[in-house]
Chains A and B, each alone.
Chain A
Amino acid sequence: MTVEGLIPEETKGLIGELLSEPLSGVITAKEAQRFALAADDLNPLYFDEEAAKAAGHRTTLVPPIFLAWSLAPARPVSEVREDGLYKSAGRRVALNVKRVMFGGEDWEFFEPVYAGDRITSETRLKSLEEKHGSSGPFVLQMTETTYTNQDGRVVAKAIGRSIAR
């Protein structure tokens, strides 16, 4: 008897591929500050232009990990699933699993990101690995996203981990 794994063969072909068209947008001070405040982070570099300039910056900074959410396109309520998550956009990484949990991130920061910067991101599927944990088999899915600013400089890279079971 053949036991079907959690990673279908055709999904393995997506490894190394872009998961969507590049996303691009201007990050405003207001949305960066809303993110910082929701995490009760009152860093003056995000809020106070004079403090940012005194620290050698041209204007206020964006909390660096906010990049991960700043470019997501606005979507209609009709695209929300029963669990509240949005239906997949772009190329779907089809797995034989029920749930996907956020498992953490690895960030590298190369340049500051400023309020008003136009950032473009590209996300690739980096790897899919089937593993066996104490609560059964799961898939460790890793994506790699590169963030580039309006001057063509790579400002950050992030590897995202999710656990699908």
Chain B
Amino acid sequence: MSGQRYAEDVNAGDELPVLVKNASRAQLFLFSAATNNPHRIHYDKDYAAVEGHPDVLVHGPLQGAWLSQYVTDWAGTGGRVRALSWQNRARAYPERDLSFKGKVVEKREEDGRAVVELEVWEEDDEGQVLMPGKATVELPGRG
């Protein structure tokens, strides 16, 4: 987390700083445990092959949780995430860098509040977009 972000410092076209995640197999296990998800494709490589996967997979919801973190941290503790959506389009694997990127699409004023629309996405280490998404964030003003 860095300091608070203010509406005055944000403009359409701005790029968000990149966040890189890299899940260990133990982390996948911990996420399965924290969400009570016993699906074997996340911890049993032999079984993952039965479902056609070359390795265990990073959970779609873990990638969603990272995206949520990415946007929430960008907004700062004084900002508010109003909406967040994402589509899991391709498989993500452990022990590989996964990069979260984004840009500001629009900034507008709504009932005296600054509202920012973001386009956000996750890429793998070959630049393939695994998960496109969008977010709507309210930011505080400096005033």
Contact = CB atoms under 8 A, between A and B. Distances in A.
- A complexed with B: yes
Interface of A: 31, 34-35, 37-45, 51, 54-55, 63-65, 68-69, 72, 74, 80, 83-86, 99, 101-109, 161
Contacts of B36: 69, 72, 74
A34 B32 CA distance: 11
A23 to B, nearest CB: 13
A40 B27 contact: yes
Chain B binding surface, main DSSP class = mixed
B38 A86 contact: yes
B97 to A, nearest CB: 14
B88 A104 contact: yes
B76 to A, nearest CB: 9
Contacts of A34: 33-34
B96 interface: no
Interface stretch (B67-75, B100-108, B110-118): B67-75
B73 A43 contact: yes
A69 B88 CA distance: 18
Given A84-B44, A104-B88, A45 B38 contact: no
A43 B81 CA distance: 14
Query: Which residue of A39, A41, A44, A74 has the most chain B CB atoms within 10 A of its CB atom?
Result: A39
Nearest to B84: A107
A42 B39 contact: no
Interface in B68-94: 68-69, 72-73, 77-78, 80-88
A65 B85 contact: no
